[in-house]
Amino acid sequence: MESKKAGCPEDSASADAILDPVHLAKVKEILIVLANAVSAAKIFPAEHKAVVNFILDLETRLKEYLDAHWKLELGIEEQAFTFAGKKVYEDAHPVKSLPFFFFKDGMKKLYFYRGLEKEELKAFLETIKKVSQLPPEEGDIVNALWEMDLANIRYDAPDDFLETKIGVGRPPLELRVDKETLSSGRIELTPEDLEAICRAALVVEASAVRLAEESSLSVQEDVPPEQAASDDQDLREIETLLLSNRRISPEDEYLNLITEIVYLEERAEQFPAIADVLKQVHDEAVQKNDFAKAARLIQSLHEIRDAFATTNKTKAAFLEALMAEITKRSLVAELFDSIDLSKVKDIDSLLFYLRLVGPSAARPLAAVFESSSDERRRRAALDILAEIGRQDASVVMSLVQESKPRLTGEIIGLLSQSQDKRIVSFLASFLGYRSNLIKLEAVKALSRIDDETAGKILIGFLSDENEDVRTAAARAIKPIQKTVLDHLLILARNKAFKKKTMNEKEAILEALARSGSPEACELLRKSLKKTSFLTAGRDKTDLAVAAASALGKMAMAEAEKALKEGTKSRSRRVREACVKALEDISHRRASSVHQGTPNEKP
């Protein structure tokens, strides 16, 4: 489906077989500014100076272009924007790639038309920001733009693709009327009927209590004094129980009555009316922040379902469906959108309720973690998220956001213990993040996975702009696959390697040593020989010491030979490092022989 403006001339320049390089450069500049504006909008609020400046720059460039050419027509490929068949902007990183963001939801072309206003541009960027922050299964830029219906920003997407996307998640309205029941002569209970029953039950109980008290007084007159004294304690306990029972609120009594009706009701035709009442009770309890009551309701339904699991499967199935509907993710999210967690006094009851709700409670649990200052409650929320992750890891994966580094870091730690195969690709998504805390957690999680794909992802972190992340990635890589080894060798031979800190150099050299490859051993041997007495050559000596330490971790005869040669070095520090490395090899060999598993060649 293409959203076009009828009656407007086509842009002849965009159809030319050979385009002016200046023209292409202008389009590329517009796309670079667009990508920067989107990145800024994702990080900062709309009124932030960076966002305002990017929008102004983008508006100016687009206005200038559209005044001259009427429209800007962009093709969308998986990793690039095209103009008149030529690639003018590429970004191969799927996490932050703007072309991929549009491409994944089926968009083929994007149009900007003359008359584009700043407000439309701001709405366009805000829509991209909103969709990008949603979980993959919920976020869809095609749907979002279709709903916005921006006059001067249009797109192409295949009709069959749109038909499968638009309207997804919107349940059809169903009106059911059973005409046969209109003349059946059976009384159907409405919520109002049930409430009236509750009030009547309370009145009857009050009368019964009053009669019991009067009866008790008359009996006491006939009891001998010596017996009455011995019963004082029992009477006090009974009075305490009676007072406790009388203090039950009408709301609690109503809940008890409703659950009793659910337990006793056997007629399947009454189930829908009961379901409506129960859903109302649940929703009102949540809206009033009475999570203890909401939890009691769900727990009671669980118990009744279990009681009838074998004796009345129809009733058990009804209760299962009812609980699934009450705890449906969209409904729970909708209810919690209207709740101010700072005003919830009984957080422990809230957490108990969310545990009963299960996977649908993932987002509210994340909100509790973010808003609570009580570390015990934060840990409790994470424990429940861990339980949910064991049931469905994708639900917890959908919670990660760069704007919430603490929560995201904790989720990475939780999921790193999972056996879910999707965890590796999930960790790859953090390559494009700016938060060093999140990236370090991702590297730590990858270090626990002995998988070739995990090693390839760590290669990406070796190019990170932050030294701590690069160093952590180098220390995390194991085992060293051929692809990883080649990358490490390139890093160590590159001129930029000299400018790295010793901490990072040591991490890379030790990673090379773990590979056990002849190429790595030869590179370390050459690094060992590079020493100097001059102050200006201190870096070479430091590198030689690091190389000696790395060689000491290799189970190779060539490494041992290189270290023996290093003991003759003119540098005392290098000689000492080589002697220590040889001692380490000797200790490991002796330990291996002692354990009966020799694994090193002398």
Domains assigned to the chain: 12-165 (no CATH), 190-219+234-314 (no CATH), 480-594 (1.25.10.10)
Q: For residue range 98-124, what is the model confidence (pLDDT) as tens digits?
A: 898 899 888 999 999 999 998 999 999
Secondary structure class of 76 (helix, strand, coil): strand
Cross-strand partners of 89: 81
Query: Residue type at 212?
Result: A
| Contacts (Cβ under 8 Å, ≥6 apart) of 445 | 412, 413, 415, 416, 423, 427
- Whether 175 has a pLDDT exceeding 50, the answer reads no
pLDDT at 225: 57
Whether residue 439 contacts residue 466, with contact meaning beta carbons closer than 8 Å, is answered with yes
- Average pLDDT of the chain to the nearest whole number: 79
Q: What is the pLDDT of residue 601?
A: 46
pLDDT at residue 209 tops 60:
no
The lowest-confidence range among 313-317, 448-452, 502-506 is 448-452
Residue 596's pLDDT band, with cuts at 50, 70 and 90, is low
601 CB-near residues (< 8 Å, 6+ apart): 555, 556, 557
Which residues sit opposite 76 in a β-bridge?
A: 81
Order across the sheet with 153-156: list the strands: 86-90, 80-83, 71-76, 109-113, 153-156
Q: What is the pLDDT of residue 325?
A: 86
SS3 110: strand
State the pLDDT at residue 93.
Answer: 66
Band of the pLDDT at 180, cuts 50, 70, 90? low
Mean pLDDT over 577-591 rounds to 89
Q: Which is nearest to 367 in space by CA: 389, 392, 390, 344? A: 344
Residue 111 is predicted with a pLDDT of 94
pTM score: 0.50
**What is the token pair recorded at 284?**
């009102």
Contact predicate 560/582, CB 8 Å: yes
Q: What is the pLDDT of residue 498?
A: 84
For residues 503-524, give the mean pLDDT.
Answer: 91
Give the closest residue to 404 by CA, choosing from 385, 421, 418.
Answer: 385
The 10 Å Cβ neighbour count of residue 243 is: 9
Lowest-confidence pick of 236-240, 259-263, 384-388: 236-240
- Our separate counts of H helices and E strands in the chain read 30, 5
Residue ranges of alpha helices (H) inside 149-270 are 159-165, 191-222, 225-230, 232-246, 250-264
Rounded mean pLDDT, 272-288: 85
Q: Where does the pLDDT of residue 7 fall: very low under 50, low under 70, confident under 90, or very high at 90 and above?
A: very low
pLDDT in tens, 25-71: 889 889 988 887 887 777 667 776 667 877 888 998 999 999 988 89
Report CA dihedral (510, 511, 516, 522) to the nearest 10 degrees: -70
Q: Looking at residues 198-209, what average pLDDT do you find?
A: 57
pLDDT of residue 330: 63
Region 362-386: mean pLDDT is: 88
Q: Which two tokens stand for residue 570?
A: 């003119």
pLDDT of residue 56: 87
**pLDDT over 70 for what percent of the chain?**
74
| Higher pLDDT among residues 136 and 26, named by residue | 26
Nearest CA-CA partner of 365 in 356, 354, 376 = 354
Q: Which residue has the higher pLDDT, 31 or 217?
A: 31
Residue 43 is predicted with a pLDDT of 62
The mean pLDDT value for 542-556 works out to: 90
**476, pLDDT greater than 60:** yes
